């Protein structure tokens, strides 16, 4: 019987509805091995390299590489063994049901990392005896539980690799494999080899396109791998030659002011579409307040020395926002079509400028972190964003966003809500403001202006105002951030 498997558009995250085949790395009719990159799939803000989980042949490509998006579950290609005939593939495609694709994609997204292929690795055949029911409180995917029951696998010693320690299908498959013992046989005489250059396929193609020697680049990816951002960072943008300045006293002569046209790339198109939809479809309203920050600035200097960290003012704001969100769960929400989802913990997204445009990586459960942990997490996310290495998990979800432009000298602004979140906080810079003291004198203090953009479908004005009052109190009494 022919071994035929569908390759469908995977679903990475609850909000993903479609993806785009950017490039096939394996051609139709070509065999591939486990771990080889099959294709590149682009989502809203990232490009995922889909790696094979088993050896097979790409027998048929149904969706060629293009800019056209395809829905989650769409049949992209067919994997087979070498002996499968075209007639068998045609019959498989004709009998394929899209409804089955949705189930397969859902199971794959729960059990596999975004870089995994759609079909799981074949597991050893189950025993002939009736499967033994497993009762456990540990998080485990349905398919992984079925496999463990069918093969009598004890899941207690398995360390889950999924989110929150969830046991995935691949974890059970790995636990079923016999332990291999390697016996060292002494040193081996190896001929000298040239130093290998590790680069992603996309980075290699860009380097060839722009004539860049990969050996001159320093990779910022895992284990020094050269990424797309490393190559693009070495590309020198073409700068139009400036017109020579006229000599003093010479008559003014107008020259052609020719614009440099830069079409939107895919990421900028997605950002433009999402922001336009958000502004047009979400009923925004705005609440503004000022908060004293002199005590926060002074506490930060001392705390950084004591904790041995470099927490920024924005890190303290993330902590304050997270604590306020937990106290006001009616603001810590996501808005669906006709429902509001509230959450017990605050997943705070921070707006970061990156080579791919504005991105919003997430500090998850920030209310449970102390300042040093938040500082380390935000620094890692910012570094990944600026290197263009943010993964889908880094940006998936979020219950609230913070956009801080104070470091650019901006005093106050209003931000556009990042759906499906219900609100976003815009933070301005610190300004010295004259205020009246209790005894009638005039003194100066540092203040920041906060502007809360709120989705009126889910959050009322009174709820937003109460949240801002709690946030203001936390900022003005910064010792409470360590409680």
Active site residues: 456
What pairing do the DSSP bridges indicate for beta strands 348-350 and 400-404?
parallel
Terminal C-alpha separation, the chain? 65
**Strands (DSSP E) found in 297-430:** 333-335, 340-342, 348-350, 352-354, 357-359, 362-363, 400-404, 423-427
What pairing do the DSSP bridges indicate for beta strands 423-427 and 47-51?
unpaired
Cβ burial 190-207 (10 Å sphere, 16+ → b, else e) = eeeeeeeeebbebbeebb
Q: Which of 164, 43, 163 is nearest to 113 (CA)?
A: 163
Alpha carbon separation from 387 to 2, 80, 353, 407 (Å, rounded): 44, 37, 11, 21
**DSSP 8-class letter at 383:** H
Q: Which of 419, 450, 420, 446 is nearest to 432 (CA)?
A: 446
Tell me the DSSP string of 409-451.
Answer: T---------TTBSEEEEE---EEEEEE-TTS-EEEEEEEEEE
Cα–chain-centroid distance for residue 302?
33
d(CA 288, CA 267): 31
d(CA 318, CA 331): 15
Q: Which residues contact 202 (CB under 8 A, 6 or more apart)?
A: 23, 40, 47, 49, 228
Q: Which of 429, 180, 446 is nearest to 314 (CA)?
A: 429
- Do 103 and 8 meet the contact criterion of CB atoms below 8 Å apart? no
- Do 92 and 4 meet the contact criterion of CB atoms below 8 Å apart? yes
Find where tokens 């449970």 sit: 368
d(CA 387, CA 361): 13
- Do 41 and 20 meet the contact criterion of CB atoms below 8 Å apart? yes
**Three-class SS state of 216:** helix
Q: Which of 282, 345, 321, 344 is nearest to 464 (CA)?
A: 321
């Amino acid at each position: 019987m022919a071994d035929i498997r569908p390759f469908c558009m995977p679903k990475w995250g609850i909000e993903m509805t479609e993806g785009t085949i950017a490039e096939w790395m394996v051609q139709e009719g070509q065999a591939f091995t486990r771990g080889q990159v099959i294709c590149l799939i682009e989502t809203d803000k990232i490009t995922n390299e889909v790696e094979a989980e088993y050896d097979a042949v790409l027998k048929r490509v149904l969706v060629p590489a293009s800019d056209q998006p395809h829905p989650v579950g769409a049949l992209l290609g067919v994997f087979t063994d070498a002996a499968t005939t075209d007639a068998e593939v045609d019959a498989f495609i004709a009998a394929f049901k899209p409804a089955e694709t949705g189930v397969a994609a859902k199971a794959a997204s729960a059990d596999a990392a975004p870089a995994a292929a759609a079909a799981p690795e074949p597991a050893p055949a189950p025993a002939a005896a009736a499967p033994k029911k497993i009762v456990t409180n540990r998080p485990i995917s349905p398919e992984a539980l079925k496999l463990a029951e069918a093969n009598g696998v004890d899941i207690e010693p398995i360390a889950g690799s999924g989110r929150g320690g969830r046991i995935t299908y691949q974890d059970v498959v790995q636990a079923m494999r016999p332990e291999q013992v390697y016996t060292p046989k002494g040193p081996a005489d190896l001929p000298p080899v040239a130093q290998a250059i590790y680069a992603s396929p996309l980075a290699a193609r860009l380097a060839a396109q722009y004539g860049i020697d990969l050996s001159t680049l320093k990779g910022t990816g895992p284990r020094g791998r050269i990424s797309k951002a490393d190559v693009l960072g070495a590309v020198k943008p073409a700068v139009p030659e400036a017109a020579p300045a006229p000599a003093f006293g010479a008559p003014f002569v107008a020259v052609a002011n020719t614009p440099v046209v830069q079409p939107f790339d895919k990421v900028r198109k997605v950002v433009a579409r999402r922001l336009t939809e958000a502004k047009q479809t979400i009923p925004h309203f705005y609440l503004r307040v000022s908060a004293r920050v002199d005590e926060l600035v002074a506490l930060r200097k001392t705390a950084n020395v004591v904790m041995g960290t470099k927490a920024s003012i924005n890190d303290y704001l993330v902590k304050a926002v997270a604590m306020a969100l937990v106290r006001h769960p009616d603001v810590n929400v996501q808005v669906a079509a006709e429902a509001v989802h509230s959450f017990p913990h605050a997943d705070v997204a921070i707006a970061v400028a990156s080579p791919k445009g504005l991105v919003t990586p997430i500090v998850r459960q920030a209310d449970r972190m102390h300042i040093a942990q938040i500082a380390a997490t935000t620094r890692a996310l910012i570094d990944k964003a600026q290197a263009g290495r943010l993964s889908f998990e880094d940006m998936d979800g979020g219950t609230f966003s913070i956009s801080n432009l104070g470091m650019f000298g901006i005093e106050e602004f209003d931000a556009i809500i990042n759906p499906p979140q219900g609100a976003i906080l815009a933070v301005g810079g610190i300004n010295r403001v004259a205020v009246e003291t209790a005894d009638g004198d005039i003194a100066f203090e540092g203040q920041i202006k906060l502007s809360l953009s709120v989705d009126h479908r889910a959050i009322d004005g009174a709820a937003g105002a109460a949240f801002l009052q709690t946030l203001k109190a936390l900022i003005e009494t910064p010792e409470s951030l360590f409680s």
